[in-house]
Structure 1
Amino acid sequence: MNIDGVDADTTPSGFSRLELVRLMVQSLQSLGYQKSANELEAESGFQLESPAVTRFRNSVLQGDWNTVETLIGDLNLDTTHELSVKFLIREQKFLELLEKRNIKDALIVLRSELTPLNQNMDRVHSLTSYMMSSSPEDLRQRANWDGVNGSSRQNLLSSLQKFISPAVMVPENRLETMLKQAVDHQIKNCFYHDNRNTSKSLYSDHICDKTGIPTVTRQVLERHTNEVWYISFSHDGKYLASASADSKIIIWNLETFQPMHTLQGHSNKVSCCAWSPNDTQLLTAGYDRTVKLWDIQTATLKSTFPHHSDVVTCLGWLPDGERFVSGSEKNLFLMATAGNLLRQWPFPVRDLAISADGQTLVAMGGTIIRMISLVDFTEVSKLEETDGITAISLSKDGQFLLVNTTLPMHREIHLWNLPEGRIVRKYSGYKQGLFVIRSCFGGWDERFVISGSEDSKVYIWHRENGNLIQTLDGHDRSVTMVAWNPTNPTMFASASDDNTVRM
């Protein structure tokens, strides 16, 4: 219908009045306003669903399987979906009979109703094995199914919904689901999202101010006498280790911002460090071609590992705290803290990362990124950039990888989706050419990407949309590395060739 150029069947925003009213009716019913829902249906002339669909829904929840099957024809399913729907219904019927220990009728359903459908025969074989269950509890455990008194029928209804047109049967809580999606989308794209802002008001759009992003230098750490090349927070966020070209490593107390220990033992520049999983030990390595293991409590050197024949560029612990990996321009080693070399890979590694579950090692050298299984030590997959890579950083969930590149015309940080093996985002604007620059994820839920730069600034981008949202001054020379506190989303550190670390 069209009245004065306006379609009466749609809202001013172009949404279907029928769909909107049906969602409103459903929402009113779920909130317990049945009388208001009935009045809205009567006034609008739109029903939430047909009487047959209502009977179908109620019959599923009541376990009236004969009625459910007679109503399948009212769902307007195509032939393929009809078979899938029948399989799911009869599967539930079978499991409920088994739960009641009605073995004879359950066997009839299995042989005469499920098997003839010729659907998902692997599942049929699994269902057959459940006949051997010793008790209802054993059945529920084997089938990973919570029984009639649990949520199994509601779960069945949700599974059936996937095969039924939403125009026939509106998905459960559809309006609330859409509202949640809208709010989540706003949060996901909020430039300055702060998890302390827990408001989910529907009255206004979700917006956070800049207070959630650390933009002010709280402290300048100035005890190094040469360029600071690497920094690493302890896992509990209470300490920071800084490694320098002055051949020293300083452990900083982040309550006082004063040195707790100065570790001296390397004979040349220190290029990297890594905290043990329990924060009691620290690995360090560098230009003297050694890896050293330190006791943090006593600040004493426990071991020196001289296996490398060239500069050691990266380190990483395995979750057991007894093994670690170290990389150089010639080799990648897996070693035990007891001193023995466990495994060797003969390819260059400039940087590496280990997934939180300890299952995967990501190793980078040249333009190649390798994923290596730490279970059987095989190469799982390999990615390649078109230009040189200086550093990588792995997300907490192990699904995404930041890659600092040195492209000829401009500098970019690439965000790789590892399972998909593709670049999904690029971050640009910072300066990188001569030196190694390291970036990382940060902020609440790792919503930001942060990097140092050769122009002495720190750059922060919105991870999701790639927009540059903050540029921070303070250092006098190149900022070579940044690190975000793992327990404090409002604190990060930056290391610079001006011999300082800024908090």
Structure 2
Amino acid sequence: MTDEQRDAALFLVSQQYLLESLGRGDDSLALSLLRKQISKLQVGREKVHKLAFSLFSPGELGLNEVHEDGDVFQKLRRNLINELEKLLPPPITVPDRRLEHLVEKVVCSQIDSCIYHNSLDPVSIYGDHRCGRDQIPTETVQILSDHKNEVWFVQFSNNGNYLASSSSDCTAIIWKVLEDCKLVLQHTLSSHQNPVSFVAWSPDDTMLLTCGSSEVLRLWDVETGTCKHTFGDSGFLVSSCAWFPSSKQLVCGSSDPKKGICMWDCEGNETKAWRGVRMPKVSDIAVTPNGENLISIFSDKDIRILNVVTNVERVISEEHPITSLSVSGDSKYLIVNLNSQKIHMWDIEGSWEKPLTYKGHKQHNSDPIEVLSGHLMTVNSVSWNPKRHQMLASASDDQTIRIWGPNRSEKMKLV
């Protein structure tokens, strides 16, 4: 690009900026642009003088239409693009290897939009990418049998490098996920005196909470496997627990109304509590990822949404008992599973008066995507690895944990 072309292009862009500044009523900025930038360009004094005149007579350039036509700047910008296209040669407006960049962008967007994609598989720009059944975890690749009784809960860590499990055998186990996607036992957490029904990873994955309906709440160091703190006394039985996003505060709920809901720091100091004779039992609890709302399930059918910043409270009543609770990653929605075989999604901020309802497969007369067979008894919990999307874990009354991966035989058929 020559100096003459450069100055001409800069004049067109600066002119547009000046005109929009005038349209917004920012005369001082327009004058500054004219004095400090536009006047230095080698585009001829006549153009500069005409633009200077527009400072005093904006009607000459159609700026008096701004209040009547809100799209006047859009029209001016389209004209600017047309003028730049005439002024600048194609090698400048279309950079080298532009086609290669566009093709690469399309291919990468297809891969990025599919969490199950195996990067070794080819992707074509001539069709939308869709992973087949071979990408979904449907085959048992490992069986973990170190628990001595029913396994009640499993949960992968946020970074996907660990799996935690809890059991009726009064222990919890931390498993390490190796590079080859095999799991090995890292720590057995064995200080509980009663069955452990729930675990919760801290957001930074350095700590783990364990609790049970007849057990106290314990905090564990993930690296060493040692118990860092036990919350409350032996009579403080915790039914559920959750972390705040800072990994410095946690909250737990008790099925005993006298104990209610308590917030603690990691040193065991109680920072806030909701308790009393009118307090119903808490069956489940969650904190939104942004840390603003505390969501509790009371008496099996009531959902309480409490904004911990403003203390504004909202209660939603369901007709049927709630069996589980989950919060979306953007902190906007919550989903509850009901024993009536329905799933309700609620807007946390209260924009919806009624929930969105999702019925079971039987009501829609459709088949599930896949049925995973292998466990010999009831399956109590499943967890998808958040970083290794082709890995799924399931816990069962048959005392085992199964790790699921893509079906290798299907993969071989495609090859």
Q: Same fold (TM over 0.5)?
A: yes
Q: 1:424 aligns with which of 356, 373, 376?
A: 356
Do the aligned partners of 2:16 and 2:77 also contact (CA within 8 Å) in 1?
Answer: no
Letter in 1 for 2:319: T
Distance 1:241 1:349 in 2: 23
**1: CA distance between counterparts of 2:232 and 2:212?**
11
Q: 1:279 to 1:97 in 2, by over 3 A?
A: same
Question: Matched residue of 2:24: which SS?
Answer: helix
Mapping 1:196-207, distance limit 5 Å = 199=123, 201=125, 203-207=126-130
Q: Which amino acid aligns with 1:355?
A: T
Provide the alpha-carbon RMSD of the alignment.
4.3
C-alpha change, 1:240 and 1:205, in structure 2 (3 Å) is closer
Return the offset for 1:230. 1.6
Cα deviation per residue 1:167-197 (whole Å; 9 max; x = unaligned)?
A: xxxxxxxxxxxxxxxx9xxx8xx99974858
Aligned with 1:324 (options 223, 246, 250): 250
Give the match for residue 237 of structure 1.
Answer: 160
Q: Residues of 1 paired with 2:235 and 2:31: CA distance?
A: 66
| Contact 2:169-2:195 at 8 Å conserved across structures | yes
Whether the aligned pair in 1 keeps the contact of 2:196 and 2:215 (CA below 8 Å) is no
Match of 1:370 in 2: 304
Matches within 5 A, 1:90-239: 90-91=23-24, 94=27, 96-97=29-30, 100=33, 194=117, 199=123, 201=125, 203-239=126-162
Determine the structure 2 residue equivalent to 1:298.
Answer: 224
Aligned with 1:474 (options 360, 374, 380): 374
Whether contact under 8 Å (1:485, 1:492) holds in the other structure is: yes
Over the matched positions of the two proteins, sequence identity in percent amounts to 33
Corresponding residue to 2:384 among 484, 495, 498: 484
Structure 1 window deviating more from structure 2 (234-243 vs 369-378): it is 369-378
Aligned CA distance change for structure 1 residues 247 and 193 (closer, same or farther; 3 Å): closer
Question: How far apart are residue 242 of structure 1 and its match?
Answer: 0.4
Deviation for aligned residue 1:300: 1.6
Q: Where does residue 63 of structure 1 map in the other structure?
A: 16
Aligned counterpart for 2:270 among listed residues 341, 350, 368: 341
Q: Give the Cα–Cα distance (whole angstroms) in 2 for the partners of residues 430 and 223 of structure 1.
A: 36
Query: What is the rounded CA distance, in whole Å, between the counterparts of 2:147 and 2:402 in structure 1?
Result: 12
Residue identity matched to 2:219: L
AA matched with 2:396:
S
- One-letter code of the match for 1:482? V
2:270 is matched by which residue type in structure 1? L
Partners of 2:346 and 2:355 within 8 A in 1: yes
What is the SS of the residue equivalent to 2:369?
A: strand
Deviation of residue 154 (structure 1)?
Answer: 7.0
Structure 1 partner of 2:170: 247
Aligned partner of 1:266 among 192, 216, 219: 192
**Structure 1 residues not aligned, in runs of 5+:** 1-58, 69-87, 121-152, 159-182, 432-460
- CA offsets, 1:195-237, max 9 Å, x none? 8589573x44553311221111111111112221121212221
Q: Which residue of 1 aligns with 2:201?
A: 275
Alpha-carbon separation, structure 2, partners of 1:416 and 1:401: 5
Amino acid at match of 1:232: Q
Structure 2 equivalent of residue 354 of structure 1: 287
Partner residue, 1:16: none
Separation of aligned partners in 2, 1:347 and 1:198: 56
CA distance in 2 between partners of 1:325 and 1:107 (Å): 64
Q: Distance in 2 between matches of 1:308 and 1:376?
A: 33
With a CA cutoff of 8 Å and minimum separation of 6, indicate the structure with the bigger relative contact order: 2
How far apart, in 1, do the equivalents of 2:359 and 2:118 lie?
A: 23
Residue of structure 2 equivalent to 1:399: 332
Question: How far apart are the structure 2 equivalents of 1:351 and 1:233?
Answer: 19
Unaligned runs of 5+ in 2: 1-11, 36-51, 79-105, 404-415
3-state SS in 2 of match to 1:274? strand
Structure-2 change in CA distance of 1:96 and 1:424 (3 Å): farther
For 1:426, the aligned partner's letter is Y
In 1, the alpha carbon distance for the partners of 2:27 and 2:234 equals 63
Question: Contact conserved, 2:384 with 2:393, CA < 8 A, in 1?
Answer: yes
- 8 A contact 1:65–1:93 mirrored in 2: no
**C-alpha separation in 1, matches of 2:17 and 2:207:** 63
Shift of 1:98: 6.1
Residues 322 and 470 (structure 1), Cα distance of their counterparts in 2 relative to 1, 3 Å cut: same
Provide Cα deviations, 1:407-446, integer angstroms capped at 9, x if missing partner: 1xxx123334444434335151489xxxxxxxxxxxxxxx
Structure 2: how far apart are the matches of 1:320 and 1:309?
A: 28
Provide Cα deviations, 1:433-471, integer angstroms capped at 9, x if missing partner: xxxxxxxxxxxxxxxxxxxxxxxxxxxx9xxxx983222
After superposition, the Cα gap between the structure-2 partners of 1:214 and 1:375, relative to the gap in structure 1 and judged at 3 Å, is: same
Q: Provide the C-alpha distance between the structure 1 equivalents of 2:28 and 2:319, rounded to a whole number of angstroms.
A: 55
CA separation of 1:483 and 1:321: change in aligned 2, threshold 3 A = same
State the distance in 1 between where 2:316 and 2:368 align.
26
Distance 1:430 1:481 in 2: 21
Change in Cα spacing, 1:359 to 1:500, as seen in structure 2 (3 Å) is same
Show the counterpart of 2:409: none
Contact 1:313 1:328 (C-alpha < 8 Å) held by counterparts: yes
Q: Distance in 2 between matches of 1:155 and 1:269?
A: 70
Contact 1:234 1:275 in 2 (8 A): yes
Number of aligned residues: 326
Q: In the alignment, what sits opposite 1:502? A: 402
Matched residues in 1 for 2:329 and 2:152: separation? Answer: 23
C-alpha separation in 2, matches of 1:388 and 1:488: 33
CA distance in 1, matches of 2:320, 2:149: 30
Change (3 A) 1:253 1:95: farther
Is 1:414 matched with 2:344?
yes
* CA gap 1:259/1:375 in 2 versus in 1, 3 angstroms: same
**In structure 2, do the counterparts of structure 1 residues 307 and 209 end up closer, same or farther at CA, with 3 Å as the change threshold?**
same
TM-score, normalised to structure 2, is: 0.65
